[in-house]
Structure formats: C-alpha cells, structure tokens
C-alpha cells in the first residue's frame, strides 16, 4: 500500500523493495541539516546511505530539497537501493517515516534544503541525530550558528561534521576549525576531505564505496557512518547486535 502513494521516477523501483521486508524493525533517522547552501550535504547523504547499506542497514533517503540532488542521483543509479523519495513523494514527514518504519526500513536519511525552511525545521524535529556539514572556513562556521541554535532550541541531538576539508597540506586549517566548532557542539572526529571520488561517484549514481572502495574518501565516509551509528544507538539505547533484527 505504501508504494502506491509514490508515483514519480523513483517509485518504479521502490515498490519491489517492500515485498520481502518484515515490519516492526526499529528505524533511526539521520537528518542532514544546514541553513547554508554549498556544504556538500547531498553528496554526503548519498554516500552515507551506501555505506550504511553495506554495513547492513535497510536505507531510504528522503530528499526534501526541491532541487532534488539526491533524487537526481537515484535516477542515474543502476542499483535499486538505497531508495530515494523526492520532496513531492514525502508529504507529511512524520507520517511518511511511520510508514517506512512499518515497511522494515532501519535507517532514514533526510536530505534537506540549504535554507531555513519548514522542511528543514521538520527534519530537525524528527532527527535521532542531526548532522550539520560545515566547510572549514570562518565564514562557514559563522553561517552554521543559526542551525546550531535552532537544534538546541528544540532539544535534538546533533553533531557537526567538517566536509570538503583541504587535504594534508592544509591540515592545520581543518584542526583549527574543528577546535572552533567544538565550542558550539559535538564534532565528528573524522573530517571528510574534498576528493574527486565524491564528484565522480555522484555522476555515476554511486556512493564512494562503490566507485573507489579502497580509496580515502570511502574510508572517511565509513568512519563517519560508524560514528553516527554509535551515536544514534547510544541515544536510543538499542544495542548494536539488535540493529536490523
């Protein structure tokens, strides 16, 4: 019944995903939120989704951004999973999440617009963990603060992740930004560097694990996902061995 409500391009493969999956599984919600554009949020979302699926999660991405960056990635993608629902398919976010949970998904990743919008605020409220991507510059750090204040105001768990970080020659800049961010909230200990693997993987409808499984980008994404998973499990109190059961 759920799949019949979704009629856009992603739905042609979505229906088959629900047939063999059981109901009643616990589902975590990881919302990527920032009120600033250009942070690489969608590329991070799709590669985290692939990494989580490879780690055993049953993953769906909710693309709330009318620009549809994650949905466009899925349209290019050869594989049927992770599923992506575009902003027209999602409807009322809490109700959609409830149906996805009942369908057996264990992780929903919400990709939001890079503006202060109703969709972004809704994704914040539903988050088991809100992940806030920040580019390593003083301007980006300052632009992140309204998002941090909004998350603190509604009492949702959040963490900041440095994204599109420079590589080794400017590692001190990343370290300085990480220290600066740590005064505003918890920081994911693994920065995600700016690497061409992310661009090439997106163009092919892949995650970096699929494009270059032995590459540094894949290793960083795997570490970020492992950290987020542990953080969400600690918040929920669900033991790791029961995930996906």
Query: Over the chain, what HEC string results?
Result: CCHHHCCCCCHHHHHHHCCCCCCCCCCEEEEECCCCCCCCHHHHHHHHHHHHHHCCCCEEEEECCCCCHHHHHHHHCCCCCCEEECHHHHCCHHHHHHHHHHCCCCEEEEECCCCCCHHHHHHHHHCCEEEEEECCCHHHHHHHHHHHHHHHHHCCCEEEEEEEECCHHHHHHHHHHHHHHHCCCCECCCCEECCHHHHHHHHCCCCHHHHCCCCHHHHHHHHHHHHHHHHHHHHHCCCHHHCCC
Give yes or no for residue 9 having a pLDDT over 60: no
The pLDDT of residue 141 is: 87
What the block records as the tokens of 127 is: 């988050």
Q: What phi and psi values does residue 110 have, to the nearest 5 degrees?
A: -105, 120
The pLDDT of residue 238 is: 44
Give yes or no for residue 185 having a pLDDT over 80: no
pTM, entire model: 0.84
For residues 107 and 57, the answer to whether their CB atoms sit within 8 Å is yes
Domains and CATH numbers, the chain: 28-133+196-235 (3.40.50.300)
Confidence band, pLDDT 50/70/90 cuts, at residue 68: very high
Closest by alpha carbon to 205, among 42, 4, 3?
A: 42
Q: For 23-66, what is each residue's pLDDT tens digit?
A: 445 899 999 998 777 888 999 999 999 999 999 999 999 999 99
What the block records as the tokens of 177 is: 């930004």
Q: For 196-217, what is each residue's pLDDT tens digit?
A: 999 999 999 999 999 999 999 9
Contacts of 226 (CB under 8 A, 6+ apart): 55
Q: For 100-139, what is each residue's pLDDT tens digit?
A: 999 999 999 999 987 777 878 889 999 999 999 998 888 8
The winner for highest mean pLDDT among 7-21, 32-46, 167-181 is 32-46
What the block records as the tokens of 157 is: 């768990």
- Total residue length of the chain: 245
Mean pLDDT in the chain?
83
The pLDDT of residue 171 is: 65
């Amino acid at each position: 019944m759920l799949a019949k409500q979704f009629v856009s391009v992603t739905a042609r493969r979505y229906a088959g995903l629900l047939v063999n999956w059981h109901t009643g599984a616990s589902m975590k919600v990881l919302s990527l939120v920032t009120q600033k554009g250009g942070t690489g949020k969608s590329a991070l979302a799709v590669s985290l989704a692939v990494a989580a699926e490879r780690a055993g999660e049953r993953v769906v991405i909710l693309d709330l951004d009318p620009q549809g960056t994650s949905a466009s990635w899925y349209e290019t993608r050869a594989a049927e999973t992770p599923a992506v629902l575009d902003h027209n398919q999602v409807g009322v976010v809490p109700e959609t999440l409830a149906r996805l949970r009942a369908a057996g998904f264990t992780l929903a990743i919400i990709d939001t617009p890079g503006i202060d919008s109703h969709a972004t605020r809704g994704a914040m409220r539903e988050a088991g963990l809100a992940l806030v991507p920040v580019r390593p510059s003083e301007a980006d750090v300052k632009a992140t603060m309204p998002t941090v204040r909004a998350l603190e105001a509604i009492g949702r768990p959040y963490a900041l992740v440095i994204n599109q970080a420079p590589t080794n020659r400017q590692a001190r800049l990343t370290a300085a930004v990480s220290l600066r961010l740590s005064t505003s909230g918890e920081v994911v200990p693994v920065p995600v560097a700016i690497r061409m693997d992310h661009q090439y993987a997106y163009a092919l409808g892949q995650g970096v694990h699929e494009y270059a499984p032995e590459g540094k980008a894949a290793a960083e994404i795997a570490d970020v996902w492992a950290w987020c998973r542990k953080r969400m499990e600690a918040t929920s109190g669900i033991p790791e061995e029961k995930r996906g059961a």
